[in-house]
Amino acid sequence: MSKKYVTSKIVKLVIVLIVCAFLIFFNPKGFFNPIRGVFLSISAPFQKIFYQSSQKIGGTVSFLASISEIKNDNAKLSKENNFLAAQVASLQEEKNQNALLREQLGLVPRDKFSLVGGFVIGQDPQGSESWIILDKGEKDGISVGMAVIVSNGILVGKVEEVYATSSKINLLASSSSSVNVSDAETGAKGIIRGEYGLGLVMDMVTQADVLNVGDTIITSGLGSNIPRGLLVGKIKDIKVSDDRLFQRATVVSRIKYSGLDVVFVIK
C-alpha cells in the first residue's frame, strides 16, 4: 500500500470526523440529540476539570493583578503621606515661629521705635559669636548701621551688610565692633568693644569718670544712628589701662549670642 493512498484515507477520515462533529454540536433540527447527549455525558468530567482549571488560572491572574494594583496604590499613598507630612511639619514650624515672634514682639519697646522682626538663619561657624545672618534685608527697609536688639531693648549688634532678602549683623562680641556707651548710674562714657575671651569690654573711660561693679551700661547715642538708652550689660570688673590714663571694664550681657533666634532691627 502506497503512502499516497494512506494519506488520502487519513484525509477523508478527518473530513468525515469534522463533518460529524459539526452536525452533532450544531445539531440541526435536534436530529443528533441522542448522540450529542452521549458525547456530552462522556466529556462532562473533562469539561468540569478544564472549567475548574481555567477558573483557578483566571483567579490566580486576577489575584496577581490585584496585588500589583495594591502595590501601586500603596506607593502612591506613601508619596501622598510623605508630602502631607512635610506640609504639616512646615506649617507647624511656621506656627511655632509666629508664636515666638509674637512673644518676643511683646517684650520689645514698640512704642519707642519702628521695628522689623526677623529670624536668625545663619551664624559664625567658628563659634566666636562675631556675626549672624538675618532673614530680612533691603526689601524690608533695612540699611547698614541700624541697631539690632532683642527683648526688653537689649542691644546685640549693628547691621554690617545688607542684601535683597537678608542681612549680616555684626554682634557686639565681635572684635571689629565698637559702640559708644555710658554708665547709667554715674554717666561715665566710653566705647564698648568685643574682645575674644573676655566678651564685652568698656574701654576709653577716663580716670576722672566713676565706674562701679554692677553698674548698668547703656548706649549713649553719640557718633552713630544707634539710639540712646539701649541696654548693653552690667559691669563685672574694672581695671586700669597699662598707661594708667584710662579705665577698662568687663561688661556681661544678659544675652547669649550663640542662642539668638529672633532679633529686631530699629529702622
Is the residue at 42 inside a domain? no
Residues forming beta bridges with residue 210, ordered by sequence position? none
**pLDDT for residue 33:** 53
Domain-embedded: residue 225:
yes
Are 172 and 224 spatial neighbours (Cβ–Cβ below 8 Å)? no
Which pLDDT does position 202 carry in this prediction?
95
Give the integer Cα–Cα distance in Å for 87 and 76.
Answer: 17
Lowest mean pLDDT among 72-81, 102-111, 146-155, 197-206: 102-111
CB 147 within 8 A of CB 156: no
Tens digits of per-residue pLDDT, 218-251? 999 887 788 888 999 999 999 998 778 899 999 9
- Assess contact for 250 and 235: CB atoms under 8 A: yes
In a domain, 100, yes or no: no
Nearest CA among 238, 247, 142 for reference residue 204: 247
In this prediction, residue 90 has a pLDDT band, given cuts at 50, 70 and 90, of very low
**Rounded Cα distance, 237 and 233, in Å:** 12
Structural domain boundaries, residue 177: 114-267
CATH code, domain carrying 188: 2.40.10.340
Residue located via cell numbers 545688607: 162
The answer to whether residue 241 is domain-embedded is yes
In a domain, 79, yes or no: no
Assess if residue 54 is contained within a domain: no
Is residue 226 packed enough to be buried (19+ CB in 10 Å), middle (13-18) or exposed (0-12)? Answer: buried
Q: How far apart are CA 181 and CA 171, in angstroms?
A: 15
pLDDT for 15 equals: 74
Q: Please give the pLDDT value at position 248.
A: 93
Percent pLDDT > 90 in the chain is 37
Q: How many domains does the chain have?
A: 1
Q: Per the domain annotation, does 185 fall within a domain?
A: yes
Mean pLDDT confidence for 70-78: 72
Q: How far apart are CA 138 and CA 161, in angstroms?
A: 10
Scored b (16 or more CB within 10 A) or e, 139-167 reads: ebebeeebbbbbbebbbbbbbbebeeebb
Is 143 contained in some domain?
yes
Q: How far is it, in rounded angstroms, from Cα 102 to Cα 64?
A: 56
- Decide: pTM greater than 0.75: no
pLDDT score for 188: 95
